[in-house]
Amino acid sequence: MKNSISKILVALTLVLSFTASHAQIKNATTANVKIYGNCGMCEKTIENAGNLKKVASVDWDKNTKMATLTFDSKKTNQDEILKRIALAGYDSDSFLAPDDVYENLHGCCQYDREAKVAVKESAEVGTHKDHMQTMTLQAPQNKPLDPVFNNYFAVKDALVKTDAASASKNATALLAAIGDVKMDKLEMDVHMVWMKVLNDLKKDVKYIADSKDVAQQRDGFINLSKDMYTLIKISKTDTPVYYQFCPMANNGKGANWLSKENAVKNPYYGSQMMSCGKTVETIN
């Protein structure tokens, strides 16, 4: 009897949680689609890839392989959600995951792939007579500044962990990435900003790379983040970037940083005040 009651309570909790998450999504549109996968690990990956806070929610059933997509129709659409899921390694009837991503899935997650008709990614959805024709999703090509941004986020993550050695190592990699940028590959507006911030970027990154003191590294990260913000604002990003602010940092003057996730993880204080701060801007 107790076990039955416990199961009922768990089920109710899950239903209420699911309903609450959907209630936060404005202009909600719902769609049911098939996404291929095998297990609970697949479920977690699929849902994490598709979910965007207050924008999109994915609920996938490993038994039926069916997913319920609920999304704000003014901010995203079904195709964008399925593309993110495909890039995480999971086919749908609309988009195929890149082969290399599928092959890197855990063994238990490598579902049987069904044969599909593939067309180029550039084909326009909805213009072909056969609306069910499948598109092959190509892994996005790296943009010239992607290595710069990725290494910046690695430095930030190291400071969140208060790991001076890792921060120094990642800053060294960031300095190399800055040096490797092919300026003739940058769009004109990006190129102008790049030339404006380049010297300061190098100086601040080298300061962090050369230091073994996390307090000094965090000081250097303040100015680095200002220039990275200017740079990432003018660049087109495939996923949202969150500009966050801590009022306590910089001796009470406050300081900003960039993050790939909306949840606050403070690089200026780490575990001392991990959640101190807030997102002040979402950059798309």
pLDDT at 78: 92
Residue 264 lies in a domain: yes
Question: Do both 76 and 183 map to the same domain?
Answer: no
For residues 67 and 60, the answer to whether their CB atoms sit within 8 Å is yes
- Give per-residue pLDDT as tens, 31-50: 999 999 999 999 999 999 99
Mean pLDDT of the chain: 84
pLDDT band for position 6 (cuts 50, 70, 90): low
For residues 244 and 22, which has the higher predicted lDDT (pLDDT)?
Answer: 244
pLDDT at residue number 116: 52
4/42 Cα distance (integer angstroms): 28
The confidence band for 185, taking pLDDT boundaries of 50, 70 and 90, is confident
In this structure, are 198 and 227 located in the same domain?
A: yes
Beta strands of 99-185 (E only): which ranges?
A: 118-119, 134-136
Output the six-digit token pair for 241.
Answer: 């970037």
* Eight-state DSSP code of residue 108: G
Average pLDDT rounded to a whole number, residues 56-82: 92
- Do residues 96 and 209 share a domain? no
105 plus 230 within the same structural domain? no
| Single residue among 106, 136, 166 that ends a domain in this structure | 136
Residues 219 and 278 in one domain: yes
What was the pLDDT predicted at 48? Answer: 93
pLDDT of 248 above 80? yes
Indicate the pLDDT class of residue 244, thresholds 50, 70 and 90: very high
Quick one: 127 and 37 in the same domain?
yes
Please indicate, yes or no, if residue 211 is contained in any of the structural domains: yes
Domain count, the chain: 2
Give mean pLDDT, residues 3-10: 51
- Give the per-residue pLDDT at 194: 92
Exposed e or buried b for every residue in 123-146, given b needs 16+ CB within 10 A? Answer: eeeeeeeeeeebbbbeeeeebbbe
Kindly state whether residue 188 falls inside one of the protein's structural domains: yes
Q: Are residues 115 and 199 in the same domain?
A: no
Tell me which residue range forms the domain holding 79.
Answer: 2-136
Read off the pLDDT of each residue in 157-178 and give the average, rounded to a whole number.
96
The residue that leads in pLDDT, 133 or 90, is 90
The answer to whether residues 12 and 102 belong to one domain is: yes
pLDDT digits (tens, 9 = 90+) for 94-130: 888 888 888 889 888 999 886 554 333 433 333 333 4
Which residue, 136, 171, 194, sits at the end of a domain? 136
Angle at 41 between CA 59 and CA 96, to 5 degrees: 70
Judge whether residue 15 has pLDDT over 60: no
Q: Looking at 111, 136, 161, which one is the last position of a domain?
A: 136
Structure confidence at residue 3 as a pLDDT band (50, 70, 90): low
Same domain as 43, residue 24: yes
Q: Average pLDDT of 65-90? A: 91
Q: Which CATH number is 17's domain given?
A: 3.30.70.100
Look at residue 204 and tell me if it is in a domain: yes
- My answer on whether 178 and 92 are in the same domain is no
The answer to whether residue 156 scores a pLDDT higher than 90 is: yes
Pick the more confident residue, 139 or 186. Answer: 186
pLDDT score for 134: 43
Tell whether the model's pLDDT for residue 138 goes beyond 60.
Answer: no
**Which segment of 11-20, 101-110, 187-196, 227-236 scores lowest on mean pLDDT?**
11-20
Q: Under 8 Å CB-to-CB from 163, ≥6 apart: which residues?
A: 214
Establish if 141 belongs to a structural domain: no
- Is the domain of 132 the same as that of 232? no
Averaged pLDDT for residues 172-196: 91
pLDDT at 277: 95
If asked whether residues 111 and 168 sit together in one domain, one would say no
Instruction: Give yes or no for residue 238 having a pLDDT over 60.
Output: yes
